[in-house]
Structure 1
Amino acid sequence: MIREIKGYALLQGARGTPPCDIEALADALVALSRFAYARRNDFSSVEINPLLALPEGSGALALDAVLLPTA
């Protein structure tokens, strides 16, 4: 799924930047999905934006997150 996004070439390294840690990015997305599913009755919305993909071997980092509790 990550390979299908328009910006995938940038994640592979572009304009002299190193490739991103795509495995860590995928792991973060899976963890977010599992969390959202497990807590689906507690939150009406879960958002991470931006999610920074660090250089290969360095992980991924959520710079901001918003969780809206269910009313």
Structure 2
Amino acid sequence: MNISARNCLKGTIKSITRGPVMAEIVLDIGNGVQVTSVITAKAADNLGLKEGKEAYAVMKSTEVMIAVD
């Protein structure tokens, strides 16, 4: 994965709370630290996000995105 954002935190998806349009993703990055991001439900589907899967919290400016390999 190549991306312009310099702040990427690898973790494990702890939970996914889905709504009709948006999904809240909680990523456990270790040592009791969690990062939460809200993305579209379609993006969560396209990324194949599932609890227990490894993913990245990608931060650029004030935005936190989720990425996978």
Q: When the two structures are superposed, what TM-score results if normalisation uses the length of structure 1?
A: 0.27
Larger Rg: 1
Q: Which protein has greater RCO, CA pairs closer than 8 Å, 6+ apart?
A: 2
Between Structure 1 and Structure 2, the one with more strand by share is: 2
Between Structure 1 and Structure 2, the one with more helix by share is: 1
